[in-house]
A and B are shown apart, each in its own frame.
Chain A
Amino acid sequence: MSSPAYAAVRPVITAWSAVSPFGVGRKFFVDGVLAGQPTAAPLDREQWPGPDEQACLVPDFSVKEVLGRKGTRSMDRVTGLAVSTIGQLLHDADGNRVVRTGEESALVLGTTMGSAQSTMDFVRDSFTGGQPHHVDPARMPNSVMNCAAGQCAIWHQLRGPNTTLAGGGAAGLLSLDYARRLLHHGRAGQALVGAAEEYSTARAWLHRHSGGTTVLGEGCAILLVEPAAAVGEGRRPLAEVLAVQSRFYLDADPRRALAASVRDVLTDAGVRQEEVWAAVGSAVGEPGEHEHAQLRALFGDAAVNRMPGADLLGDTGAASSALRIATVLSVAERSAEAAGKLVVLSAVDPYGTAACALLRLAD
């Protein structure tokens, strides 16, 4: 339903970064998006002895190499992805801190189920160890889904609301909506918003046994979202978040729910369908084909063709819709035509959510 909340706060995106199969940091992401280069590659079967032959991995990603030795001994991959993405966002190319954090900084981080690998490794020791309590205490926090968000808070001093939102493929858009609500109610002055998903052998097995056929990918994208009024002189928003909506879909058919969410965001923002410049879906594989077909039907081929396909990075799970926002911002950065344009982003999650966001790119 229509909400006055959007108008009141006018959340804007003022910075972003991503750690993805294109590489660590925003620059690699923008280059990768513009080059349109697929990232699936054969897996090193010694490191990844699961069911997959190939995946889309962050190249040579090692938590210790990216973040150093201190404080990373028991840090798992998804935590490393999130901590490093936020680190990239908060610092400039020379490593200087450019974004302040503290009590007013919220973090809303989307996930599917945290690190399945960490959770399963932790309990495995209980079955295989000499005693059932011979589990690794240092790894216990990793077996809980809020580990990544909590570590991000510790590393980057984020002392506002710290929310881990399990929303599957729609997590990025759901997190954006959740963050908008936090800002609207004055629960934080700014919010780091995004989602992270790791590739792991455990995730690969769960995916395979669930009947998944997509090539798995991984990554994390984080946006800095603030009320427009908080953006001072000399800083320029990259995009305004005009509206976000999501719906549970019944009977395994997301089409009606997606159509309703699209209709809602357009109505909320007072935007006509034909004013939308680009329409971007997040799902891959067969659900992605359906999602894109629906977007084509709603907004036309030209609007859909303005953005590269979602499958360059593989099935990035919870991170997918957050990475798609990053994709839109990447295109905007290098395209004069994109200035001031309206973009619809959608996500269709296999578990039951269809979601939609409407952004206006900066002039």
Chain B
Amino acid sequence: MTAMVEERISKIKEIVCEILELDESEVTNTSLFVDDHGADSLGSIEILASLEKAFGVTIEQSELPRMVNLDGVYEVTAEAAGW
């Protein structure tokens, strides 16, 4: 994993944890925001909005169903950014 990728992953995790009011230690790459961490639909939109601002990308709302955990969020963001 390159330093660049690690940095992005770490930034995404920071954003998600800030929004969902979680410690980074509580979240794994596959733990589910809604089922495991009690997130709601507003939380998902907040994550999408923050990613758009942080990485200067546009993410369609239709991608929300894929953004259920950190892996999903990274995948969607990477596609939107062309990483």
A–B touch (CB < 8 A): the answer is yes
Interface residues of A (CB under 8 A from B): 69-71, 73, 129-131, 134-138
Cross-chain contact of A73 among B18, B45, B52, B56 (Cβ < 8 A): B18
Interchain CB contact under 8 A, B19 and A73: yes
A137 to B45, CA, bound (A): 7
Cross-chain contact of A130 among B19, B45, B56 (Cβ < 8 A): B56
- State the majority secondary structure of interface residues on B: helix
Sample (23) of A-B pairs whose CB atoms are under 8 Å apart: A69-B21, A70-B21, A71-B21, A73-B18, A73-B19, A73-B21, A129-B53, A130-B53, A130-B56, A131-B52, A134-B49, A134-B52, A134-B53, A135-B49, A136-B46, A136-B49, A137-B42, A137-B45, A137-B46, A137-B49, A138-B19, A138-B42, A138-B46
Per-position 1/0 for B39-73, Cβ under 8 A of A: 00010011001001100100000000000000000
Name the B residues within 8 Å of A137 (CB-CB).
42, 45-46, 49
Interface size counted on chain B using CB atoms at 8 A: 10
A136-B46, A138-B46 given. 17 additional CB < 8 A pairs? Answer: A70-B21, A71-B21, A73-B18, A73-B19, A73-B21, A130-B53, A134-B49, A134-B52, A134-B53, A135-B49, A136-B49, A137-B42, A137-B45, A137-B46, A137-B49, A138-B19, A138-B42
In the complex, residue of chain B having the shortest beta-carbon distance to the beta carbon of A135: B49
Residue among A129, A134, A138 with max Cβ neighbours from chain B (10 Å) = A138
A70 to B39, CA, bound (A): 12
